[in-house]
A and B are shown apart, each in its own frame.
Chain A
Amino acid sequence: MAAKGILIQGLKKRYGSGDTAVDALKAVDMHVAPGEVVGLIGPSGSGKSTLLKCLGAVIEPTAGKIILDNDIIYDDGWKVKDLRALRRDRIGFVFQAPYLIPFLDVTDNVALLPMLAGMSNLEARKRAIELFEALDVKHRAKAMPSQLSGGEQQRVAIARGLVNQPPVILADEPTAPLDSERALTVIRILNDMAKRFETAIIVVTHDEKIIPTFKRIYHIRDGATYEEKGQGRGFE
C-alpha cells in the first residue's frame, strides 16, 4: 500500500515483558495527507508521546506499519538502516519549547540541519533566510536565540522543522508556552507552511484554544486512536 504524507497502520508499542508488560500503543491507525494539519489529542498517559517517539524513529514500535511518502519505513521492524538520517532528512520536529541552540545565531540554528545533510553553508543559510521571509522573522536572522521573543523563537523552531523539506512534521505541543493570540498565529503558520511545502503536520496538543482550528482530530486513549471531524475554524 502506498500513501503520500504519513500513513500509520496497526501500530503497537509494548514496554517491558511478561507480567510487567505495558501496552502503550495498542492499535494506532492514522493518515495525514500532504498539506494537512491534524490534531492529536489525548489525556496524560494516553500514549501521545510514545506515538510521537515511534513516528520520530526515536523508539522502535513493537508491531505495525509506518509509510512515509510512499516509503515503508517500519513494517514489524525498521526498513530504514540509518534512522538518524531519516530523522534529519524526512521528519521535522517542533517542540513544546523552541529548544534552539543558544550558541548559534538564528540563521545557523535553522541552517544547521541542511549543513548536517551535506549542503554547503551558503546554500543552507540561503534556504533558512527564504523560510524566515515566509515566517516573517527575516529581520531577526542575525540575532541570537536569547534576543528573540517567545513567538519569534517558536517561528524559528518551525523554520528548523521545515528547512529540510520533510514530508512530515511532528509538533509536540508547540503552543503550550504561548498566549492565545500567539498560539493561533503559530497554528496559522503551520497551516500555511503545510500547504506551501506539501507537508503533513501532526500537532500533539492539550491546548483548548487551538483544538477548534483543526479540520481533523485524532483522539488517543489507552493506546488506541479514533478519528473525529474537527471544526476547522479560522483558516479557511
Chain B
Amino acid sequence: MISLAGRDILYSWGKFVFTGMGLGLLIGITLSMAGIYRGMVEDAKALLDNSGADLWVVQKDTLGPYAEPSSLYDDIWREIRSMPEVEQAANITYLTMQIGKQDGDVRAMVTGLTPGEPGTPGWPPYLIAGRQITRSHYEAVADIASGFKLGDRIQIRRSRYTIVGLTRRMVSSNGDPMVFIPLKDAQEAQFLKDNDAIWKQRRRTAQNPAFNRPVVPDLLDAIIASQSVNPYVNAVLVRVETGHSPEEVAESIRRWKRLTVYTRGQMEEILVGKLIATSARQIFMFLVILAIVSSAIVAFIIYTLTLGKIREIAVLKLIGTKNRTIVGLIMQQSIALGLIGFVVGKISATLLMAPLFPKYVLLQPLDSIIGFIAVVMICALSSIIAIRAALRVDPAEAIGG
C-alpha cells in the first residue's frame, strides 16, 4: 500500500517545508528556553564547583553569599582554619557591578581572592591564558566571556587593574562573567565611598563630642582610621580534609562558632531551588505557552489542509478506503510537519540561538529527546480536530444531488 501522506507531502512539499520552518523556529525557541534553564543550573553548579570549597560559612541566619547579603569579619577564617579536619579556609567577597573599559563597560561579578596559590578555595581552578594573580594589588584574572583580553586595563571603582590571566566557565549564577582581584582591593571596592562622603563622615565624627575628646587626643584619629577600612568579607570557603565528612565539620562550626554553614548540596539547593527558581518558573511558563501556541498552529494548519481535501476524502471513503487509512493520512502529515519543525528547530537552536544568546544555553541530548517526543505527541493530538472533521465527511458528498 502506498503512503498517501507521503505522496501528499511530496506533491505540496513547498507548503509543508515552509510551514515546517515556521513551526521549527517556534520549536527552536522552545528548545533554547529549555537550554537557558539548563544553562542557569549549569552556571550555578559551575560557580560552586569552581570555588573548590566543601563548605560555605556565612553570616548567621542568612542564605549568603549568593542568594542574600552576608557579612563576616575577615579574621574569622583563622578560627575556622584552626578547627580539626579543616584543610583550608579562605575569605572571599563577591560584588556584581559594571566594570569600565576603554570602549564601554561590562557587567561582571568581582570576586576578592585571599592571597595564596592556585588551589586555594575561591581561586579559578585553571587558566586558558596568562597567569594567576601574584601581586597584592591591581591585577585581575577575568572570565573569557567578559570580553577582556590579556593586558587590558579595566576600571573598578577608582582603581585600574591589569588583566593578567583569562579563565573559562567562571560565571555567577546569573551568568555574569567573574573577574578575580586581590581580597584587599575587593574589600575596598565594596566599601569605598567618594571623597565628599568620606569628608562628610569625618566631619560628623569630629563633631561628635564622644569621639572628639580633648583629654584623649588620639581617639578621633583612631576612630576615623577604623572607619576607612572594611574588615568584612562575604563568606569563608572551607575545604575539609580528605576522608572527613563535610556535614560533621559544618555541624562543628555551627555549634562552636555560631555561624551559618552550608554544604555543597545545601548551597546547590539554595542556588537552584531558590535563586533561579523564579526564572525557572518563568521559563516553564514560556515552555507551556510555546507548546500551546505550537499545538494551535499545527492543529490549525492540519485542519486547513484537511478542509482543502474534503472532496478527495469523500471520494476515498466512497471507493471503500478504511477510516484508519484516512486517519493515518492526516496524522502522518501532522507528525511529518512536526518532524520538519523539530529538525529546523534543533538546527536553529544549535547553530543560531545558542551561540548568539547572551546567556549560556546548554542543549542537552535528553532535552532534545523529550522535545522530540513532545513534538510528536503534540502533533498527533493536534491532528484530532482535523481527523474528526475528516471522519464526519459523508461519502455521499462525492455523488452530486
**Chain A interface (Cβ within 8 Å of chain B)?**
48-50, 52-53, 56, 58-59, 84-89, 93, 95-96, 99, 101-104, 108, 112-113, 115-117, 121, 144, 160, 172-173
> What would 14 A/B residue contacts be, using CB atoms closer than 8 Å?
A52-B401, A56-B399, A58-B395, A84-B317, A87-B318, A88-B321, A95-B315, A96-B400, A102-B312, A103-B8, A103-B11, A108-B2, A116-B320, A172-B400
In Å, the complex CA distance between A140 and B394 comes to 31
Residue numbers in A under 8 Å from B316 (CB-CB): 101
Please give the distance in Å from B119's CB to the nearest CB on chain A.
Answer: 68
Residue on A with the closest CB to B320?
A88
Top 3 A-B residue pairs of the complex, sorted by shortest distance between their CB atoms: A49-B401, A88-B320, A103-B11
Residue on A with the closest CB to B9?
A103
Main DSSP-derived SS at the A contact region: helix
Q: A101-B312, A115-B1, A121-B2 are in contact. Are A173 and B318 (CB under 8 A)?
A: no
CB contact between A115 and one of B2, B11, B311, B312 (< 8 Å): that residue: B2
Residue numbers in B under 8 Å from A52 (CB-CB): 399, 401
In Å, the complex CA distance between A103 and B396 comes to 22
B325 at the interface (CB under 8 A from A): yes
Residue numbers in B under 8 Å from A172 (CB-CB): 399-401
Contact at A103–B12, with CB atoms within 8 Å?
A: yes
Contact at A116–B1, with CB atoms within 8 Å?
A: yes
Residue on A with the closest CB to B311?
A99
Residue numbers in A under 8 Å from B325 (CB-CB): 116
In Å, the complex CA distance between A144 and B12 comes to 13
Q: How large is the interface on B (under 10, 10 to 19, 20 to 34, 35 or more residues)?
A: 20 to 34
CB contact between B11 and one of A59, A86, A88, A102 (< 8 Å): that residue: A102
B322 at the interface (CB under 8 A from A): yes
B225 at the interface (CB under 8 A from A): no
Please give the distance in Å from A109's CB to the nearest CB on chain B.
Answer: 10
Main DSSP-derived SS at the B contact region: helix
Beyond contacts A112-B2, A116-B322: 16 other A-B pairs, Cβ-Cβ < 8 A, are A59-B396, A87-B318, A87-B395, A88-B320, A93-B319, A99-B311, A99-B312, A101-B4, A101-B315, A102-B11, A104-B4, A108-B7, A112-B319, A116-B320, A116-B325, A172-B399
Contact at A87–B319, with CB atoms within 8 Å?
A: yes
B398 at the interface (CB under 8 A from A): yes
* Contact digits for B1-23, partner A, Cβ 8 Å, 1 yes 0 no: 11010011011100000000000
In Å, the complex CA distance between A33 and B222 comes to 125
In Å, the complex CA distance between A172 and B396 comes to 12
In Å, the complex CA distance between A82 and B224 comes to 102
Contact at A121–B398, with CB atoms within 8 Å?
A: no
Contact at B312–A87, with CB atoms within 8 Å?
A: no
CB contact between B320 and one of A50, A87, A102 (< 8 Å): that residue: A87
In Å, the complex CA distance between A182 and B322 comes to 34
In Å, the complex CA distance between A53 and B401 comes to 10
Please give the distance in Å from B18's CB to the nearest CB on chain A.
Answer: 17
Residue on B with the closest CB to A52?
B399
In Å, the complex CA distance between A48 and B318 comes to 17
Contact at A173–B320, with CB atoms within 8 Å?
A: no
Residue numbers in A under 8 Å from B398 (CB-CB): 93, 95, 99
Residue numbers in A under 8 Å from B7 (CB-CB): 103-104, 108
Contact at A160–B319, with CB atoms within 8 Å?
A: yes
In Å, the complex CA distance between A59 and B317 comes to 13
Contact at B10–A113, with CB atoms within 8 Å?
A: no
In Å, the complex CA distance between A129 and B10 comes to 23
In Å, the complex CA distance between A116 and B2 comes to 9
Q: A85-B320, A99-B311 are in contact. Are A104 and B2 (CB under 8 A)?
A: yes
Residue numbers in A under 8 Å from B399 (CB-CB): 49, 52-53, 56, 58, 93, 95, 172
Residue on A with the closest CB to B1?
A115
Residue numbers in B under 8 Å from A101 (CB-CB): 4, 312, 315-316
In Å, the complex CA distance between A117 and B319 comes to 10
In Å, the complex CA distance between A130 and B395 comes to 28
Residue numbers in A under 8 Å from B11 (CB-CB): 102-103, 144
Please give the distance in Å from B231's CB to the nearest CB on chain A.
Answer: 80
Contact at B400–A49, with CB atoms within 8 Å?
A: yes
Within residues 301 to 329 of chain B, which ones have a CB less than 8 A from any CB in chain A? 311-312, 315-322, 325
* Contact digits for B382-401, partner A, Cβ 8 Å, 1 yes 0 no: 00000000000011101111
Residue numbers in B under 8 Å from A84 (CB-CB): 317, 320-322
